Amino acid sequence: MKLLVYSAQDFEIPFLKKANSARYKVKYIPDALDTNTAIKAVGFEAISIFSGDDACLVVLEKLRDLGIKYITLRSAGYNNIQIKAAKRFGLKVANAPDYSPNAIAEHTVALLLSLNRKIFLADRQIRTYNFEQKKLMGFDLVNKTFGIIGTGRIGSVLVKIMNGFGCKILAHDLLPNKKLVERYGVEYVELERLYKQSDVISINVPLTRETHYMVSEEAFTLMKPGVLIINTARGAIVDTKALIMALMGKKIAGYAADVYEKEKGIFFKDNSDQGIMDENLINLLSFENVLITPHQAYVTQEALTNIAEITFDNLDRWVKGETCRNELGYETLVL
């Protein structure tokens, strides 16, 4: 079987080649999947895509017509693919749901510490030989209330880490985890209470119709003025325009994210020469209390190894006619 890997990054290709072990014929291209690049899948039976690729209805129809049978995502999130359309076109789709919860959770903590203790600001100052401390005030995490929206694989790891910091942990999830309650004293609450009482809020839910713009203008009005918000899930869970207004009005103390609402055409590429045209992102980056990283939480040796192995295991299952445990349930509604 021939596999086309879209959005192939130079640093991940060695991991994919090792996991493949030459059993499939694989072509790696840096192009993201969209209506224009779908044609590149001619002659292939399977494709692999990343979170920045566009697998909308029109693209999926083109892929079906080109003979594609299988789509394996190199990500846990799958809001960029229309699952119902894939089902209708007879395409099998699988993701990589548990490649490394630790990588994402640890990056969440790295963002929090850098935002809270102004590490990124201090670094900028030091590089211009400014050794003042007046803009570098943070707070101790011990005894603070840490709110986690979503306690799945990543959220559960985050609970363990923040418990180690001595935080009181509030959580919101459709399916409360009893083990987290028993082991770490997690208290599951409604979103309104979590917003009102948390000193730090971490977003760890997938992007669905229900979570789109979950963190809205109304949510910001409920939060503590000194709250820090960390988002390593998906950008569109936060209403960017409402976020900018909340930052301008000092309704929140800071925002750190590894994701952005409109990453397509900006993330995963070097824009340093031509710049960017997204006014909302430009505005966000103008705030000293905003920290954005380029969707890098998954970039660890362990995570890339697991993603590669899961990618080819999904293909193996399909080729052998076996059940693929990562095949996405088509009853799920995603954007």
Can you tell me the mean pLDDT for 140-146? Answer: 98
Tell me: do 243 and 309 sit in the same domain. Answer: no
Rounded CA separation 95/1 (Å) = 19
Catalytic residue among 12, 234, 261, 317: 234
Query: What is the CATH classification number for the domain harbouring 87?
Result: 3.40.50.720
User: Does 178 reside within a domain?
Assistant: yes
Query: Which parts of the chain are beta strand (E)?
Result: 2-5, 25-28, 46-49, 70-73, 92-94, 145-149, 168-172, 187-188, 200-203, 228-231, 254-257, 290-292
Let me know if residue 157 belongs to a domain: yes
326 found inside a domain: no
Each residue's pLDDT tens digit, 5-48:
999 999 999 999 999 999 999 999 999 999 999 999 999 999 99
The stretch 212-226 carries a mean pLDDT of 96
Domain housing 146 = 101-292
| Active-site hit among 12, 45, 261, 263 | 263
**Do the domain assignments include residue 327?**
no
Asked if residue 259 is part of any domain, the answer here is yes
Q: How many domains does the chain have?
A: 2
Q: Are residues 74 and 153 in the same domain?
A: no
Tokens at 17, concatenated: 């080649």
Q: What is the pLDDT of residues 287-323, one digit of tens each?
A: 999 999 999 999 999 999 999 999 999 999 999 999 9
The Cα-based distances of 152 to 124, 166, 205, 238 in angstroms read 35, 21, 8, 19
For 174-187, write each residue's pLDDT tens digit: 999 999 999 999 99
- Closest alpha carbon to 297 in 91, 77, 89, 125: 77
Query: In this structure, is residue 186 part of a structural domain?
Result: yes
- Mean pLDDT on 226-239: 97
Answer yes or no: do 23 and 155 share one domain: no
Co-location of 310 and 276 in the same domain: no
Four-residue CA torsion sign, 11, 17, 20, 24 = positive
For residues 81 and 155, membership in a common domain is answered with: no
Mean pLDDT of 152-170: 97
- Both 141 and 261 in one domain: the answer is yes
- Pair (225, 180) in one structural domain: yes
Task: Identify the active-site residue in 295, 302, 309, 331.
Answer: 295
Q: Is 234 a catalytic residue?
A: yes
In a domain, 15, yes or no: yes
Please tell me whether residues 283 and 306 are part of one structural domain: no
- Mean pLDDT, all residues of the chain: 95
Same domain, 193 and 217: yes
Same domain, 24 and 172: no
pLDDT tens readout for residues 128-142: 999 999 999 999 999
Tell me: do 71 and 216 sit in the same domain.
no
pTM of the model: 0.91
Looking at residue 329, its pLDDT comes to 72
> Based on the domain organization, do 119 and 210 belong to the same domain?
yes
